[in-house]
Chains A and B, each alone.
Chain A
């Protein structure tokens, strides 16, 4: 490792806040672009599942009434 201590790695001779800030923001954005499409797909699949379940029960009661 280049730095002698954790303190030195965090401060980076005064540039620490810029460097770590840049990496932190990048981490947040990358997490967002990886998680959002996965969540969207899962939400869609769940919505379609409830829709299908409702349709099937709807057909069942419709038949029962006849």
Chain B
């Protein structure tokens, strides 16, 4: 167990293991995204009340779910780097922020495109939508704050604190649809009890949620690999890597 944590702190080990995970996870992810999108777009029946506009659900819900999960990844990585001064946790935190921002943006944008034909408005200062907008600003804030510092150690600490403080937003997002009942509908999928969604719509949705989790993992690993090369550019293992790359 301890040797695993020890390895986790080793940049060349992390770089290699991320590379070998990506070799199979990346093609699987892209396949799952394509299959899920085609399934949802062309092979499901329309919702009897919302018609075809509901097909946006297959990207809107997965991107929103994973944008929230990604925040946990970022904040926990931030806490680990803050408490144990683990360098690789700092790399993970920095890698998670732009992906989370992209996913939150997808959730907001597709939500607007869904809202127009369904609610008659692109945007509403509804609790769920507003708290998701705050999530986007938190992600972008971490990205910008990291760039603002010349001293990257101080940058890492500041970003970790920002992401931990931002955690208060997460339960607000979850509970917003129950606390302030307005335009946004409550969750249809539940872990316990019957889901309020037909299985013909549920399966492609679950596939897309899985695909978006895999997408987040792929992007996280790729960002971490790039970051590792940059931070360790003067070390022997990166030089060896560069020579190996040049060889073939």
Are B41 and A23 in contact, CB atoms less than 8 angstroms apart? yes
* Contact A26 to B110, CB < 8 A, known contacts A18-B56, A48-B233, A52-B239: yes
Task: Point out the residues of chain A lying under 8 angstroms from B44, CB to CB.
Answer: 2
Name the one of B51, B106, B238, B246 contacting A26, with C-beta atoms under 8 angstroms: B106
Contact B42 A49 (CB under 8 A): no
B92-114 residues with Cβ-Cβ distance < 8 A to A are 98-99, 102, 105-106, 109-110, 113-114
The smallest beta-carbon distance between B217 and chain A, in angstroms, is 12
Cβ–Cβ contact A37 & B226, under 8 A: yes
Q: Is A60 an interface residue (CB 8 A)?
A: no
Tell me the residues in window 26-65 of chain A with beta carbons closer than 8 Å to chain B beta carbons. Answer: 26, 29-30, 32-34, 37-38, 40-41, 44-45, 48-49, 52
**Chain A nearest Cβ from B99, distance in angstroms:** 6
B225 at the A/B interface (Cβ < 8 Å)? yes
Measured in the bound complex, the distance between the Cα atoms of B60 and A1 in whole Å is 22
A41 CA to B228 CA in the complex, in Å? 9
Q: Which residues of A sit under 8 angstroms from B102, Cβ to Cβ?
A: 29-30, 32-33
Residue of A12, A13, A30, A40 near B215 (CB, 8 A) is A30
B residues with CB within 8 A of A = 26, 33, 37, 41-46, 51-53, 55-56, 59-60, 63, 98-99, 102, 105-106, 109-110, 113-114, 116-117, 215, 218-219, 222-223, 225-226, 229-230, 233, 238-239, 241-243, 245-246
CB-defined A-B contacts under 8 Å, sample of 5? A2-B43, A18-B56, A19-B52, A30-B33, A30-B102
